Amino acid sequence: MASAKILSTKDIRGMRAVGRLAADTLCYVGESLTAGMTTDDINTLVHEYTLERKARPAPLNYKGFPKSVCTSVNHVVCHGIPGPQKLREGDIINVDVTSVLPARAGWFGDTSATFYIGKPSPLARHVVEVARKSLELGMAVVRPGARIGDIGYAIQTFAESKGCSVVRTYTGHGIHRVFHDNPSVPHYGRKGTGPLIRKGMCFTIEPMINLGHYAVDHLDDDWTVVTEDGSLSAQFEHTILVTHKGIEVLTRRDRPLQHSEDKPWTDLGELSCFIPPVASEE
Ligand code: MF3
Ligand code: CO
Ligand code: CO
């Protein structure tokens, strides 16, 4: 595999700005969610919010994707296309925001979360909270000298211990001026395998966790990915920068998400939560 890009100080400034924008957009979506709205309403919110900030929604026209954000409800794993579907009490929905800033030839920031519409069933809550923690545990092992396989190992061990499965077909990815670059970051795997992680690398971690089997299917629209067994699926995603001793979460939020249980995992610190003081430049 071709090696991953190492970002310069100037590159990192671009990634910080777009990461903040993508995170703000996701917070704004959480604050706007209500039962009865359509996934297309979410698309409109994201589209307008992004353009108002002189940025561009990366999904729009990406390999033919027709909308500005991915909305994946219940058994939809990822790449759900916004449309007339109304959100109902008890649904779970992943909203995956990718912004490009500046709009032309800019940097990409990619982040997603799964939200609750009304009160979730115990099983819905289980898969969502396992997915949330899977991302935290994956991020916690990233530092220079570790291997990409360490991330998948941490996630798979945890998710399977909770009776869930890890989707194989889609992975995290290098990200900078390119949406999907090396390295590919599987959310399953073996410790000590895969590419070496180096300071200055930027990539996403975005585990898709299923309540049932990990196998997926595609709908006729050529985009929507669903669980083969119809079980619920949840996902969280951050864009991270590898620093000298760990990571900076470029898509960290300045406030907790609404309609999701966005709180620090006390055992892991404040990795993705409401506002870590900005990690030091070094
Ligand atoms: N945001 C997705 C990811 O995490 C990619 C969406 S591609 C699209 O990599 F075309 F479906 F938008
Ligand atoms: Co991504
Ligand atoms: Co994404």
Looking at the DSSP assignment, which residues form a beta bridge with residue 68?
none
Q: How far is the CA of 186 from the centre of ligand 2 (A)?
A: 12
CA Rg value for the chain: 17
Q: How far is the CA of 167 from the centre of ligand 2 (A)?
A: 14
Of the residues 56, 62, 222, which should be mutated to test ligand 1's pocket, given the most ligand atoms within 8 Å of the CB?
Answer: 62
Give nearest CA residue, ligand 1 atom 2: 96
Q: How far apart are CA 24 and CA 22, in angstroms?
A: 5
Q: How far apart are CA 104 and CA 43, in angstroms?
A: 21
Please give the biggest Cα pair distance in the chain.
48
Of the residues 50, 98, 175, which should be mutated to test ligand 1's pocket, given the most ligand atoms within 8 Å of the CB?
Answer: 98
What's 140's DSSP letter?
H
CA separation, residue 191 to residues 219, 233, 242 (Å): 34, 25, 18
Residue ranges lining ligand 1, Cβ < 6 Å: 59, 62-63, 65, 70, 79, 96, 98, 110, 206, 237
Q: What is the pLDDT of residue 278?
A: 47
Residues with Cβ–ion distance below 5 A, ligand 2: 110, 204
Give nearest CA residue, ligand 1 atom 8: 59
Q: How far apart are CA 237 and CA 255, in angstroms?
A: 16
Q: What is the pLDDT of residue 273?
A: 47
Q: How far is the CA of 60 from the centre of ligand 2 (A)?
A: 14
Q: How far apart are CA 79 and CA 87, in angstroms?
A: 17
Closest ligand to the CA of 58: 1
Coil, helix or strand at residue 74:
coil
Q: Which amino acid is at 68?
A: S
Q: What is the pLDDT of residue 264?
A: 59
Give nearest CA residue, ligand 1 atom 4: 110
All domains of the chain in start order, with CATH: 9-249 (3.90.230.10)
What's 259's DSSP letter?
T
Which ligand 1 atom lies nearest to the CA of residue 69? 12
Q: How far is the CA of 123 from the centre of ligand 3 (A)?
A: 24
Per-residue pLDDT of the chain (282 residues; tens, 9 = 90+): 678 999 999 999 999 999 999 999 999 999 999 999 999 999 999 999 999 999 999 999 999 999 999 999 999 999 999 999 999 999 999 999 999 999 999 999 999 999 999 999 999 999 999 999 999 999 999 999 999 999 999 999 999 999 999 999 999 999 999 999 999 999 999 999 999 999 999 999 999 999 999 999 999 999 999 999 999 999 999 999 999 989 999 999 989 999 999 975 545 555 554 433 444 444
Q: What is the pLDDT of residue 263?
A: 76
